[in-house]
Structure 1
Amino acid sequence: MSSAPPDVECWHFLPAPSPLAFWARRQAHETAVHRADAESAHGTAPEELAAAVPRDFAADGVDELLLAFHARAKSKVRTETPRVLRVRATDTDDAVWTVRLSPEPPVAERGGTRDADCEVTGPVAQLYLALWNRLPFPAVTGDTALADLWREKSAIVLS
């Protein structure tokens, strides 16, 4: 990507400042998640997998997943009754996401003080890998059925 011109025009499927910015971000997160897969298969402990992911990068990956991927109509993370899932990093300032679930695609935002039905908390790198279903959630409080729903329904469909 370093040889691509900054104003390159190409297809992309999530909002981004430019196609180049989109693909650089997308490939960085794709590579990080699959690196965790490969290292896990090789026997690397979950704590070590998360330790290899820088905090700012992990927070950006949670942003991409919650604010972009699951905002699309293709997201299967839905509930019949409106519910609120909160994701809170314990090691990064302002790394809190509130996800409103309903029969429609999830609506997520950074921050949020509204009550949550379920909250998942932990270091942001562990949350990043957990939201991609590579690690268990570090801690879950409230209605654990929402964390289970995430595990069951959050697979990403690109096409």
Structure 2
Amino acid sequence: MSLPPEHAAFYLACLQRDSARLAEVGRLGLPADVPSCPDWTVETVLRHVAQVYLHKIEILRLGARPDPWPPAELEQRDALELFDESRLAIVDALSSAGTELETWTFSPTDKTSGFWFRRMAQETAVHRVDAELAHDVVTSIDRELALDGIDEVLTLMLGGPWWEEGDTEHPVDATIRITSVGRSWTARLDGVSATVVASAEGEVDAEVFGEPDDLLLWLWGRRELNMEQSAGDDAAVREFRARVAECTT
């Protein structure tokens, strides 16, 4: 799978912008509690994202997951300094790798470095919001990035081949549609599968709709829905969200 150059450039721009904002918010205070991640502080967020960046740099270098991971010395580093270094390094690593380098990913269909352009942009956007929530300075996620993030969560994470053994505590048997600014995804779930298509066709048990930013953050457990954002079987929507949580934690 080849990532078009314009998509790669878009992801890199979002990654640079959101990582710079995350560093800025970090400087408002590292000890602040993060309400969306119990037991985390802003410092925890910065250290986590820095380790994610460094881990992906090693994946791009090795073509495989580094083992062991993480290096013990990372915990001794100043969090802001470590994050600033790693956010620049991941942009350099992705730019140097390009989009067609064969490497390890968790995607069943994309084993190229292009996969990590999207994943790092999405990872950064959500965790940037986490840090902003700690200081009550939340800003919106780029609309196109948020729509792309909804697609990633639904088609890659929820719709991946993860459920065949019935490994879920939420074996919801329902069809749910997610709709935002003219795009729709229809998810058909049972105890051993989750099939997602980018379509608004067919009958559903429930539909969830809203702005891309709201829906992406709801899918990631960072925002609640209000009654005006869903229709149909409320219990199925709750179980659907719980199923998403199982494949994104």
Query: Of the two, which has the highest radius of gyration?
Result: 2
Letter matched to residue 137 of structure 1? L
CA distance in 2, matches of 1:24, 1:158: 18
Q: Pick from 157, 160, 177: which aligns with 1:69?
A: 157
Partner of 2:192: 104
User: Any residues of structure 2 matched to 1:1-150 within 5 Å, and which?
Assistant: 1-15=94-108, 19-44=112-137, 48-49=138-139, 52-74=140-162, 76=168, 78-79=171-172, 82-89=173-180, 92-93=181-182, 95-138=183-226, 139-150=229-240
TM-score in terms of structure 2 length = 0.54
CA distance in 2, matches of 1:145, 1:24: 35
CA distance in 2, matches of 1:7, 1:122: 35
Secondary structure at 1:30 match in 2: helix
Query: Is residue 85–residue 100 contact of structure 1 (8 Å, CA) maintained in 2?
Result: yes
Q: Which has the higher strand share?
A: 1
CA distance in 2, matches of 1:148, 1:30: 24
Q: Identity across aligned pairs (percent)?
A: 33
CA distance in 2, matches of 1:40, 1:99: 30
Task: Summarize deviations over 1:101-136 as a string: whole Å, max 9, x none.
Answer: 112221111112211111111111211111111111
TM-score in terms of structure 1 length = 0.82
Which residues of structure 1 form unaligned runs of 5+? none
Task: Summarize deviations over 1:39-79 as a string: whole Å, max 9, x none.
Answer: 112123xxx54xx2122111111111111111224354532
CA distance in 2, matches of 1:134, 1:11: 28
CA distance in 2, matches of 1:22, 1:36: 22
Query: Is residue 99–residue 106 contact of structure 1 (8 Å, CA) maintained in 2?
Result: yes
Q: Which has the higher helix share?
A: 2
Letter matched to residue 148 of structure 2? D
Query: Is residue 78–residue 106 contact of structure 1 (8 Å, CA) maintained in 2?
Result: no
4+ runs deviating over 4 angstroms? 15-18, 156-159
Shift of 1:83: 1.2
Secondary structure at 2:201 match in 1: coil
CA distance in 1, matches of 2:114, 2:120: 10
Partner of 1:152: 242
Pairwise CA RMSD: 2.2
Secondary structure at 1:2 match in 2: helix
- The total of aligned residue pairs comes to 149
Query: Is residue 88–residue 121 contact of structure 1 (8 Å, CA) maintained in 2?
Result: yes
Query: Is residue 103–residue 111 contact of structure 2 (8 Å, CA) maintained in 1?
Result: no
